[in-house]
């Protein structure tokens, strides 16, 4: 994001983010001279049934990253569908390992594939059709996991437990997203940009303790941490 072309594209992408009614996106890659290039800004996002950001902007075979906006009213962090569509993009273009989400309040998140093999294994074991409504090209057009699925239940528990701790809805959503990525050993990491412009990884500890001596239902507690706890 420090490259001048990518910075300019990001500025263009987010110029009208507070009033946009649809998500926008662009992608970037290095050309044969090792110089970063960016695509034009594309309209469309996960909220459009016509497609999604990751799908729409991957035209160059050497694409390294994609970026899309989350408009006012969206959660700041990546939706569940964003993650799976990122995988679809990565499957088509293995060089694609970065995805950025820019929110209307100025916050930014980054999804990075840190272990391609694990990411593929996770996706192979969790077919997109089991978790989302998809379009004819196989991309998720629903933003959340299907109700009752294992990923839905895991995400829900973490999100609601964070809320019960008094965590903000956006931070709870990001925490639940990080929790799922870690718990399922997905090979992908979630980061959030700080006020200095640095992206810091989000890790979540899940602790389980017996509720009492007479009940066997465990109490789960989720804690956000900066300490890496990848498997």
The C-alpha torsion from 131 through 28 and 51 to 127, rounded to 10°, is: -20
Q: Which is nearer to other proteins, 37 or 221 (CB)?
A: 221
Query: Do the Cβ atoms of 101 and 108 come closer than 8 Å?
Result: yes
Minimum CB–partner distance for residue 231 and other proteins (Å): 20
> Which residues, listed in sequence order, are joined to residue 38 by a DSSP beta bridge?
28
DSSP state of 214: S
Q: Which is nearer to other proteins, 115 or 206 (CB)?
A: 206
Q: Which is nearer to other proteins, 45 or 187 (CB)?
A: 45
Taking alpha carbons only, the member of 9, 167, 168, 23 closest to residue 81 is 23
Minimum CB–partner distance for residue 115 and other proteins (Å): 26
Q: Footprint of other proteins on this chain (CB under 8 A)? A: 46-47, 70, 73-75, 79-81, 142-145, 147-148, 152-153, 155-161, 163-164, 169-170, 172-173, 208, 211, 215, 217-222
Minimum CB–partner distance for residue 173 and other proteins (Å): 8
Minimum CB–partner distance for residue 144 and other proteins (Å): 3
Taking alpha carbons only, the member of 117, 172, 176, 121 closest to residue 145 is 176
Q: Which is nearer to other proteins, 141 or 189 (CB)?
A: 141
- Take residue 106 and report the two structure tokens written for it: 């100025």
């Amino acid at each position: 994001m420090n490259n001048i072309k990518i910075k300019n594209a990001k500025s263009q992408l987010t110029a009208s983010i507070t009033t946009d009614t649809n998500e926008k996106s662009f992608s970037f890659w290095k050309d044969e001279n090792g110089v970063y290039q960016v695509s034009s800004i594309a309209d469309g996002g996960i909220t459009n049934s016509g497609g999604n950001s990751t799908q729409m902007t991957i035209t160059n075979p050497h694409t390294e990253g994609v970026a899309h906006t989350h408009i006012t009213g969206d959660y700041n962090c990546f939706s569940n569908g964003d993650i799976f569509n990122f995988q679809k993009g990565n499957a088509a273009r293995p060089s694609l390992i970065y995805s950025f989400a820019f929110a209307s309040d100025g916050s930014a998140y980054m999804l990075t594939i840190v272990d391609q093999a694990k990411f593929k294994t996770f996706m192979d074991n969790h077919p997109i059709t089991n978790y989302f409504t998809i379009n004819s090209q196989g991309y998720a057009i629903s933003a959340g996991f299907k109700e009752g699925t294992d990923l839905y239940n895991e995400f829900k528990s973490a999100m609601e437990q964070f809320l019960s701790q008094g965590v903000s809805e956006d931070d709870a959503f990001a925490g639940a997203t990080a929790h799922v990525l870690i718990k399922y050993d997905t090979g992908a990491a979630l980061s959030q940009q700080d006020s200095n412009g640095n992206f810091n990884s989000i890790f979540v500890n899940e602790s389980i303790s017996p509720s009492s001596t007479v009940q066997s239902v465990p109490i789960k507690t989720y804690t956000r941490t900066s300490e890496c706890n990848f498997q």
